[in-house]
Structure 1
Amino acid sequence: MSATSQVLAFPAAGPADTASFMLAKLAYHTDAWDVAEDLRNGVSGIVVIDTRSEALYAAGHVPGAISLPHRLMDASSTAQLDRSKTYITYCDGIGCNGSTKGAYKLASLGFSVKEMLGGLDFWQRDGHPLATGTEPGSLSGHAPAIECGC
């Protein structure tokens, strides 16, 4: 007697549909490892934004990230941002939607945006360092703490 599959109770989409869906996901999200690699390599096409409060930013943030709390995002506070860049938003982690709110606000204002999955929690789980204080800091020149296994 064959067991009933919980996984196969809903059939997988066809390969072409799956490829389209996964490509769409990658257009909206990035992960901590890819962000770290770009920051480490000095990729100039991205700007990382910490969407949390200024106090939380000062306590510890992604090196190179700027502080722009989602609650303060509007046409005036984003006027100085370069519209040719892609903005990467993050917050504390999967239990926080500040990065989603920030990405929504930036996109609504006409900016290209991706959300960093897992936020600062996944950043630290991957072994990446934090910067403290009110200055962005830099990840350039820091070797990865661990090698990505994916």
Structure 2
Amino acid sequence: MTSKTDAARHFAAKLQFETDPSDVHAAIENGERFVLVDTRGEAAWRQGRVPQAIHLPTAEIAERASDLFDPSTPVVVYCWGPGCNGSTKAALQFSLLGYDVREMIGGFEYWAREGLPVVDDDGPVVRETDELTAPVGAGAIDCAC
């Protein structure tokens, strides 16, 4: 069995390097300084994305990141969802370049399922909130956690 101290260190580290869609949305709404990076490929980007995101596929991070934004700018990355480790690979690339980076757990899937704003090449995409991911009809996403 692990000690309480080990557990506290583990969970504190997770929160230092991970965030979730509702917290990212709140940070955007509050004007916090960071860049949200969609690390998926071109077809996925065109299909739908977070409106404030910058498109930078994982394979292009090492080559293009410093041309797009200053390494002192905090970065949050996302990919498809919990069944995909693309955002973890992207976070690793950013961390190797010296960026302060966090991974948005749940990815685009949970962003969209929570009913948060989504756009595609034609404009806003309206999606119903999935009651298994967020309170339905509550207005602002707030799971009270």
Provide the TM-score with structure 1 as the length reference: 0.78
Cα RMSD, aligned residues only: 2.0
Q: Classify the secondary structure of the residue corresponding to 1:92.
A: coil
Match of 1:90 in 2: 78
Q: For 2:24, which of 13, 32, 35 is the aligned residue?
A: 35
Q: Which runs of 5+ in 2 are unaligned?
A: 124-138
Match of 1:67 in 2: 55
Q: Separation in 2 of the partners of 1:148 and 1:40?
A: 17
AA paired with 1:79? S
User: How many percent of aligned residue pairs carry the same amino acid?
Assistant: 40
Match of 2:40 in 1: 52
1:25 and 2:14 matched: yes
CA drift of 1:134 comes to: 9.3
- Residue by residue over 1:51-91, the C-alpha shift from the partner in whole angstroms, topping out at 9 and shown as x without a partner, is 001221122111201000001222x3112221111111101
- Residue by residue over 1:13-52, the C-alpha shift from the partner in whole angstroms, topping out at 9 and shown as x without a partner, is 33222211111111111111100001122212x1110000
Match of 2:64 in 1: 77
Q: Classify the secondary structure of the residue corresponding to 2:101.
A: strand
The answer to whether the 8 A contact 1:127-1:145 is kept is no
Equivalenced residue count is 130
Q: Separation in 2 of the partners of 1:146 and 1:73?
A: 31
Q: Classify the secondary structure of the residue corresponding to 1:114.
A: strand
Provide the TM-score with structure 2 as the length reference: 0.80
CA drift of 1:132 comes to: 1.7
Q: Separation in 2 of the partners of 1:35 and 1:127?
A: 13
Q: Classify the secondary structure of the residue corresponding to 2:120.
A: coil
Query: Structure 1 residues 105 and 113, CA, compared in 2 at 3 Å: closer, same or farther?
Result: same
The answer to whether the 8 A contact 1:128-1:145 is kept is no
Q: Classify the secondary structure of the residue corresponding to 1:23.
A: helix
Q: Separation in 2 of the partners of 1:98 and 1:24?
A: 20
Q: Separation in 2 of the partners of 1:21 and 1:78?
A: 29
Higher CA-based Rg: 1
CA drift of 1:100 comes to: 1.0
- Residue by residue over 1:91-131, the C-alpha shift from the partner in whole angstroms, topping out at 9 and shown as x without a partner, is 11011111111111111111111111010111122221202
Q: Which has the higher helix share?
A: 2
The answer to whether the 8 A contact 1:58-1:134 is kept is no
